[in-house]
Every structure is written in structure tokens, then in C-alpha cells.
Amino acid sequence: MPTFPSSGPVRLATNLADSALAKAAKSGEVSSDLVQFDFCGPTTANQGFKPMVREGKFDAGELAIVTYMQALDYGKPLVLLPATMVGRFQHQFFVCRKERAPMDPKTLEGKKVAVRAYTQTTGVWVRGILQDEYGVDLNKLKWLCWDDPHLAEYTDPPELVERAPKDSKSLNELALAGEADAVIPAADLLAYPDMRTVVENPDEAGRQWGEKYGCGHINHMFAVHSDLPKERPDAVREIFRVLKESKARANLPKTGEIDQLPFGFEDCFKSLDLITRYAFEQKVVKKRYRPEELFDAMTIKLA
């Protein structure tokens, strides 16, 4: 039995955070007679990731790229569109107490680093940077984590991950107290004057990364129920059009900036090729996915 109506408008329960890219789509400035978005997700999109992959609560929406790869591992009925919803260089999100900064990341080997969840996409990117740019042996780091993975089936590698006790300090409290050598924080931790980035001049480090690799760091992309491209490819093409036009209304990317929100498989390829390697090397996914394996025969052609 088809999951979606065979003709006419398609209504989709959608998880999409407020952002410059999404503004025109969510306000109705860019709309569609064919696709009716029910923006019923939480205010913070990542709070909808678990319900999306565990319960199938949303028909469509943004999803962390690492969470999506894990969803593929466990056969969840989702497929990716080559449409980036969140992207940014991650160098600014690796921080330590000001008295420890700037820090040679290599000196973190044998020490404890804190992160909300081992499978967090920002964490996968940061570990990739540490390995490729600073020669850090990731097997010599111990990660203190609070949150469960988005995928209930996945278990953190015990040789790399230590779970924070239930009565322990929060990530922010531990970071401010200096009880971890470095942390991958939520954005609000960057506002505290006692915290500094591990990498000196993170904006410049990100710019140099972009020049070296020819891409930014993809965090979230747009995914839909895997039946939708099979049953209603017209609706999927319309979703892509709405998102792409919404991005254009936001005048993204800004002149002279690398496009951190690429659309189309070719433009997403370099960033996806890196994050798929990092996720596999860090034991977050079961296999090294080729970027083309993240899409189906229909969605990979969207441009």
C-alpha cells in the first residue's frame, strides 16, 4: 500500500529549524501547491533527530549527516537529498580553559576530552581535523559523553568512550571548572570569557581548510522517507526546488565566502567524501560509505 497519495498535494510532517536558508520556505514566501509542509518539529532541530530515526515521526526534515549514515547502517526508511541545511567550519567549537590556550592538539593524546555525544557530527569533524591536520592519534583520546546516540541500536566504542555519571556536572559546568582538558561545546559555551579555542585563530584555520580541501563542513542535510522518491518523485523535486529557492532568497553564500550550504551532488561531494571517511575511521558507522551511496537513483540527480 502506498505510503503517500498517488496524486495531488502531499502533506509532510517536517522537522526544519529556523535559519536564514529556511526563512522563505517556512514563512510561505516560497511555497508550493504540490507539497504542504507541516513544520511540526521542535524549535531546535536536533531534538527531532531521535524521533525521526527511532519512531519515524517525521516524513521529511533536516538530519545530521552522521545520524543519517547510522540510519543507513540500521535500515531506517530514509533517503538523503543533496541539500545542505547546516554547514560551518568546526574549528571554533573545540575549546579549553583560557590558561591552557593556545594548545598544540597533539598534547591531548592520553587525556580526556568532553563532548555531548560521541556520534555528534561536530565531534566527528573535530576529530577528523585533529587527525588530518595535527597528527593526533585518535585512539589515544578518551571521550567523556553525556547523551545517548540518536540510533538506539548503536553502542559507543567502550575503548574510546566513558559515560558521564548521572549525577555528574553538565558539560558546560565541567568545561568551566577545567575538569576536562578540552571540550566540544554547545555554541553558548563560546560566550564565556574563561574559554578559548584550542586552535589559535579558528576563523583563519577554517579559511585555510576550505582552500586546501575545496569544501566546508556539512552538518545537516535534508532527508525524506525512502518511499517518497519511489511513489512521488514530483513531490521530491518540488521539495528540492522550494529549499533551493529559499536559500537563494537569503542571498547565500555571501560574496567571497565558501558555500557552506551546497546543493546538488557534485557540490556536496568533497565534504561528504571526508565525513564518510571520518565516521568510519572513528567507529561511528559500520562501513565506509561512498558519497553516492547516501542517495537513491532519483535524489542523486537533483540539481
Render pLDDT for 105-151 as a digit per residue (tens, 0 to 9): 999 999 999 999 999 999 999 999 999 999 999 999 999 999 999 99
Q: Measuring CA to CA, which residue among 258, 213, 241 is closest to residue 303?
A: 241
What is the domain class of 91-212 according to CATH? Answer: alpha beta
CATH topology agreement for domains 10-88+216-301 and 91-212: yes
Q: How confident is the model at residue 153 (pLDDT cuts 50, 70, 90)?
A: very high
Instruction: Give the mean model confidence (pLDDT) for residues 79-98.
Output: 96
pTM score over 0.85:
yes
Parse the chain into domains and list their residue ranges. 10-88+216-301, 91-212
- Mean pLDDT for the stretch of residues 267-294: 98
At 215 the pLDDT is: 97
pLDDT given at position 189: 85
DSSP code of residue 106: G
Beta strands in the chain (DSSP E): 10-15, 35-39, 60-64, 78-87, 95-97, 112-115, 142-145, 161-163, 182-184, 195-197, 218-225
pLDDT at 186 over 90: no
Range in 188-192, 228-232, 276-280 with the lowest mean pLDDT: 188-192
d(CA 138, CA 140): 5
Look at residue 2 in the predicted model and tell me its pLDDT.
60
**Residue 258 reports pLDDT greater than 80:** yes
pLDDT tier for residue 187 given thresholds of 50, 70 and 90: confident
Q: For 10-88+216-301, CATH number?
A: 3.40.190.10
